[in-house]
């Protein structure tokens, strides 16, 4: 998903890139809660009958489910923020807060869109300057990457 913003006061342009994720964190908690309730009821019923050894297996399984959901949600909460201010292009990557930041001179940065020779394989969109390179929107689908490439091309050419 590609979301664009523009600050009228500072003239700063921002593009936020996020991968597709059909489950929000809140929905994930709800799903975990429902599964926990179901598994807890079953394990509690068994334990009440004297089969308490079911409890640790249910607990372990619920933890595994929570961990897997966390991993998948975390993946879908990856963000890339491209900010264009004056003669500076800043790319921040991370989950929640920026973990990596790249800065480029707007006048010299090169935008590359590399098509794969293999049919059906995704293209790559990169910004590079002086041997420094950053890939953008690795998690985007092809059509979104093309939209991003066009928009970036336009925004960079304005400088």
Partner 1 sequence: MSVATHDDIHAHDHHDHGPAKGFMRWVTTTNHKDIGTLYLITGLIMFFVGGAMALVIRAELFEPGLQYVDPHFFNQMTTLHALIMVFGAVMPAFAGLANWMIPMMIGAPDMALPRMNNWSFWLLPFAFVMLSSTLFMDGGAAAAGWTLYPPLVLQTGNALPFTVFTVHILGMSSIMAAINIIVTVFNMRAPGMTMMKLPLFVWTWVITAFLLIAVMPVFAGAVTMLLTDKYFGTSFFNAAGGGDPVLYQHLFWFFGHPEVYILILPSFGIISSIIPTFSRKPLFGYASMVYATASIGLLSFIVWAHHQYTVGMPLAGELYFTYATMLIAVPTGVKVFNWLATMWKGAMTFETPMLYAIAFVVLFTMGGFTGLMMSISPADLQYHDTYFIVAHFHYVLVPGAVFALFAATYYWLPKWTGHMYDEKLGKLHFWLTTISVNICFFPQHFVGLAGMPRRIPDYAVQFAEFNAMSSVGAFVFGFSQLIFAYVIYKAIKGGEKATSEVWEGAEAHGLEWHLPSPPPYHSWTEAPDQSLISELH
- Contact residues toward partner 1 (CB under 8 A) are 20-23, 27-28, 31, 35, 38-39, 42-43, 46, 49-51, 53-58, 60-61, 64-65, 68-69, 71-73, 76, 106-122, 124, 126, 138, 141-144, 149, 153, 156-157, 159
**DSSP β-bridge partners for residue 125:** 113, 136
H runs (alpha helix) in the chain: 25-48, 54-76, 142-158
| Of residues 64 and 99, the one with the C-beta less far from partner 1 | 64
Residue from 61, 43, 40 nearest 53 by CA: 43
Rounded to whole angstroms, the Cα distance separating 156 from 29 reads 41
Closest contact distance (angstroms) between CB of 77 and partner 1 is: 11
Give the nearer residue to partner 1 in terms of CB position, either 20 or 101: 20
* Nearest residue (CB) to partner 1, 8 versus 117: 117
Closest to 3 in 3D by CA, of 14, 21, 18, 16 = 16
């Amino acid at each position: 998903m590609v979301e664009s913003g523009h600050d009228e006061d500072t003239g700063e342009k921002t593009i936020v890139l996020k991968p597709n994720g059909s489950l929000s964190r809140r929905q994930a908690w709800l799903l975990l809660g429902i599964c926990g309730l179901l598994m807890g009821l079953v394990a509690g019923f068994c334990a009440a009958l004297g089969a308490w050894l079911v409890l640790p297996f249910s607990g372990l399984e619920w933890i595994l489910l929570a961990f897997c959901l966390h991993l998948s949600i975390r993946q879908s909460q990856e963000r890339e923020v491209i900010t264009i201010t004056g003669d500076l292009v800043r790319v921040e990557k991370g989950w929640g807060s920026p973990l990596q930041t790249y800065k480029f001179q707007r006048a010299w940065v090169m935008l590359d869109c590399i098509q794969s020779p293999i049919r059906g394989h995704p293209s790559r969109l990169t910004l590079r300057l002086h041997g420094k390179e950053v890939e953008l929107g690795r998690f985007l689908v092809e059509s979104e990457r093309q939209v991003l490439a066009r928009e970036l091309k336009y925004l960079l050419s304005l400088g």
